[in-house]
Amino acid sequence: MPSQLDALRQYTTVVADTGDFEAMRAHRPTDATTNPSLILKAVQKPAYRPLLDKLLAGHPGAATAELAERLLVAFGLEILGIVPGRVSTEVDARLSFDTQATIERARRLVARYRHAGIDRERILIKIASTWEGIQAARVLQREGIRCNLTLLFSLPQAVACADAGVQLISPFVGRIYDWYKKAAGAQWDEAAHAGAQDPGVQSVARIYNYYKARGIQTEIMGASFRNKSQILALAGCDLLTISPELLGELAAADAPIERRLDPAHAAQAAGDTLPCDEISFRSLLNQDAMATEKLAEGIRVFVADAIKLEALIDAARRPA
């Protein structure tokens, strides 16, 4: 009997959410995603220190910010030697509210990959789903630079991304679940909010149905999972990016799974069409306390980890 991981692959493209090369080799994902937090975690492991040492030796006079950018690409290049598909590389979260700076950084990342012989079709530039980030993605997509819009917690964000013609969105499941669980406090009923009743799962299903009912081509990649049931409840989503721990759980289980999301049923739950102009975007996002808070929090966390990564690089380049 096939494992749940192999069964999931019948309905969904499996993506590794990690900077750990060995985990990717073990679980054979099609694509891989990274972010500053994952790279920071990976580069502190002895197995990955040679990547940083090689970078420092090859660019002794480079500024710390440049070295951090080169390190992200170095990880991406290693990942592309393992997975057959694409890798997502993130624009510095400190640029999340600067459209032009995001565009320029994305162009530079793609140029670095191109210099290493990688076609842009294998690269997704990861950008926070702020209004400014979405407008940067609009420009980049027109240039043929494919974008992955991350830190996405609401349908208005997803609608704006579709209007911008982005390649892929990453709606977060686990962080939505976290917010509602914390808000409920002692009143939270885990069993009542499991599987299809999980608020994070419901958010992704809402986006999926909205997109498929309208023939929107933007790919949907569920992300940020806290448990296996969240993943199985989204079987059928275009892609799911999964941590090594949960990939391992899926690989070790063989209970049957069934498709939960299907374009054929999307129109039945598609909902009304939302406007996607700037005022509507900001107003609708502001009305959603969860999405507003989790977007801001996510940017702060990624900024903090980008700063920690630069500090680690500075420490590594100082003489012992």
With 0-12 / 13-18 / 19 or more C-beta atoms within 10 angstroms meaning exposed / middle / buried, residue 52 is buried
Q: What is the pTM of this model?
A: 0.95
CA distance 276 to 281: 6
Return the CATH superfamily for domain 4-317: Aldolase class I (3.20.20.70)
Q: Which residues of 91-120 are buried (b: 16+ CB within 10 A; e: fewer)?
A: bbbebbebbebbbebbeebbebbeeeebee
pLDDT of residue 317: 86
Catalytic residue numbers read 126
Q: How do residues 207-226 score in pLDDT, each as one tens digit?
A: 999 999 999 999 999 999 99
CA distance 175 to 17: 15
- Those residues whose C-beta lies under 8 Å from the C-beta of residue 73, and which sit 6 or more positions away, are 89, 109, 112, 113, 116
With 0-12 / 13-18 / 19 or more C-beta atoms within 10 angstroms meaning exposed / middle / buried, residue 86 is buried
pLDDT of residue 1: 81
pLDDT of residue 320: 60
pLDDT of residue 318: 81
Residues of the chain with pLDDT under 50: none
Q: Where are the domains of the chain?
A: 4-317
Tokens of 279: 């005022």
CA distance 303 to 25: 29
